[in-house]
Amino acid sequence: MRAHGSVTEPPAAHSADHLCWVHDDDEPFGDAVRAFLAGGLVRGERLLCVGDRAIAALEDPSGSLGDVAALLAGGALETMTVAEVSAAAGALGADPQRAFYDAATRRALDDGYRGLRVVAEVTELAADPGLIEELVRWEHAADEFIASGSGMSAMCAYRGDLPPATLGAVLAVHPLRHGPDQLSPFRLFFDDDRLVLTGSVDTFSADRLATLLAGTPAGNTALLDLSGLEFIDVAGCRALAGWAGELQARCVPLEVRGASPLLQRVWHILGLHDVAPVTFTDPRG
C-alpha cells in the first residue's frame, strides 16, 4: 500500500507521493518545500514549483537545493504562479488540470527525467468559496492520477488560517498529510486498482465522505478497501450505500474488501443490501 498517515516532515521521496501540507510559519514551510524538492533531485525528477509562497521558499541561504539558478537555467526546476497554471490549464477542474499535469509529466519523462515532482501552494484558490468544491474534486482526481503510475508526485500546501471545513476537505483526499488530524478523521485515496478508506467515519464526517465518493472516477468495476477503517457508524454506512447505489445505476459492480464483521452486520440489519448490493470479500482476496 502507498505510504499514508500523518507526518511531521516530508517523508523520503517515492514515485507516487501525494502530501497535503498545512502551514502557518514561512520558515518551517520553506524547509518542508526544499526537503520535498530535494528528494526529487535525488530521484532524478524534474521539479515544478507553483505559487508565490512555494517559489519564495527556493531562496535558501543554506543551499540545501544546490545552485537554484543553475537548476532553473538547465530546466531541472521550473516555477509558475497559480495564475500562470490557471491560464495554461484553463478553468479549474479535474479534466483540464489533469491534462495540464499529464502533459508536464510526459514532457519531463521525454526529457530524460524519472518523473515530475510538484510543490503547489494554492491557498489563494482554497480561499475562494466558489472554487473549493472544484478544487477538492481535482485533488481527489489528482490522487488517482498520481497513484496510477503516471510519474508525478506532489506536495499540496495550504495556509492554516483557511476555514476548518476547507482544510478538512483537502486533508481528506491526501494519503499523506501534515495538519490537524481532527479536521478530517478519515482519508480517501487510491492505491493501484483500489480506492482506500482509512480512519473513522461518523455522523459529522459522513456527508463529506458521500460528496467525495460521488466525485470518484470509476471504470467498469469498483473496489473499495476498508482494511484500514477503524470505525464507521450508521451515517457512514449510508454514505457508502449511496455511492454503491449510484454505481449500480451505471451498471458498475462494487466490491468491498476488508469490511469488519460489524459493518457487514449493520449493512444487512439496515437492509442496505436490498438498495445497494455489494460483494464483501476478505482483505487477502
What CATH number is associated with residue 246?
3.30.750.24
Do 158 and 220 have their domain in common?
Answer: no
Report pLDDT digits (tens) over 52-64: 999 999 988 778 8
Choose the final residue of a domain: 162, 184, 206.
Answer: 184
Q: Please give the torsion angle defined by the CA atoms of residues 74, 10, 87 and 67, in that order, rounded to the nearest 10 degrees.
A: -20
What integer pLDDT is reported at residue 178 of this predicted model?
97
Do 49 and 24 have their domain in common?
Answer: yes
Mean pLDDT of the chain: 94
pLDDT higher than threshold 90 for residue 128: yes
Do 158 and 212 have their domain in common?
Answer: no
How many Cα atoms sit within 13 Å of 108 on the Cβ side? Answer: 27
Distance between CA atoms of 224 and 242, rounded to whole angstroms?
A: 14
pLDDT higher than threshold 60 for residue 285: no
Distance between CA atoms of 4 and 19, rounded to whole angstroms?
A: 9
Do 219 and 114 have their domain in common?
Answer: no
Total structural domains within the chain: 2
Cβ burial of 250 (10 Å; 0-12, 13-18, 19+) is: exposed
Do 9 and 133 have their domain in common?
Answer: yes
Do 204 and 178 have their domain in common?
Answer: no
Choose the final residue of a domain: 184, 215, 243.
Answer: 184
Range of the domain at 156: 1-184
Please give the distance of CA 80 from its chain centroid, rounded to a whole number: 20
The predicted model scores a pTM of: 0.94
pLDDT higher than threshold 70 for residue 284: no
| Whether the Cβ atoms of residue 117 and residue 45 lie closer than 8 Å to each other | yes
Mean pLDDT for the stretch of residues 138-145: 96
Do 141 and 68 have their domain in common?
Answer: yes
Report pLDDT digits (tens) over 5-26: 999 999 999 999 999 999 998 8
Q: What is the CA radius of gyration of the chain?
A: 19
Q: State percent of the chain over pLDDT 70.
A: 99
Do 18 and 159 have their domain in common?
Answer: yes
What integer pLDDT is reported at residue 188 of this predicted model?
97
The residue whose grid cell reads 521550473 is 78
Decide which of 25 and 259 is more confident: 259
Do 209 and 162 have their domain in common?
Answer: no
10 Å Cβ neighbour count for 66? 13
Distance between CA atoms of 246 and 240, rounded to whole angstroms?
A: 10
Do 107 and 225 have their domain in common?
Answer: no
Choose the final residue of a domain: 130, 162, 184.
Answer: 184
Do 91 and 124 have their domain in common?
Answer: yes
User: Domain holding 8: CATH number?
Assistant: 3.40.50.300
Do 180 and 229 have their domain in common?
Answer: no
For the chain, what is the HEC assignment?
CCCCEECCCCCCCCCCCEEEEEECCHHHHHHHHHHHHHHHHHHCCEEEEECHHHHHCCCCCCCCCCCHHHHHHHCCEEEECHHHHHHHHCCCCHHHHHHHHHHHHHHHHHCCCCCEEEEEECHHHHCCCCCHHHHHHHHHHHHHHHHCCCCEEEEEEEECCCCHHHHHHHHHCCCEEECCHHHCCEEEEEECCEEEEEEEECCCCHHHHHHHHHCCCCCCCEEEECCCEEEECHHHHHHHHHHHHHHHHCCCCEEEECCCHHHHHHHHHCCHHHHCCCEEECCCC
